[in-house]
Amino acid sequence: MEFSVQTSKKQEIIGITDEVSAIIRKSSIKNGLCNVFVRHATAALIINENADPNICIDFLNALNKAIPDHAGYLHDMVDNNAGAHMKAALIGPSETIPVKEGKLLLGKWQSIMLVELDGPRERNINVEIIKS
């Protein structure tokens, strides 16, 4: 299954747990694994706290400190987004979460989140559920 997320900022973190959970419910699979994959080279997925929005701000600030944009990267001569590519590669495009009794086996404070690094754009997210 697939769904899209329209981002609205250059960089932002958007919770997608509800969309993934809805796909699991529709699948009627009770136990297994759920793989979530973003099909873009300048976006990524994380599992982290989504209750306090400051975590998302802190995450992006730390990431930008570690990999600053426009730091003389060769790829910036092509389309000016080398930093976004490197950040996305380090974070990764997918997460795999156990499914137990028809629900994502996430901790109390955990959420699946899309990390937009070169928006705003429409991002496509694939969800594959493997029955165990």
* Per-residue pLDDT, 53: 87
Q: Report domain extents, the chain.
A: 2-131
- Burial profile 25-49: b = 16 or more Cβ within 10 angstroms, e = fewer: eebebeebebebbbebebbbbbbeb
- Give the CA angle between residues 43, 98, 107 to the nearest 5°: 80
pLDDT of residue 50: 84
Q: What is the mean pLDDT of each run of 10 residues along the chain (132 residues)?
A: 98 98 96 98 96 94 95 86 96 98 96 98 98 92
CATH fold of 2-131 reads Jelly Rolls (2.60.120)
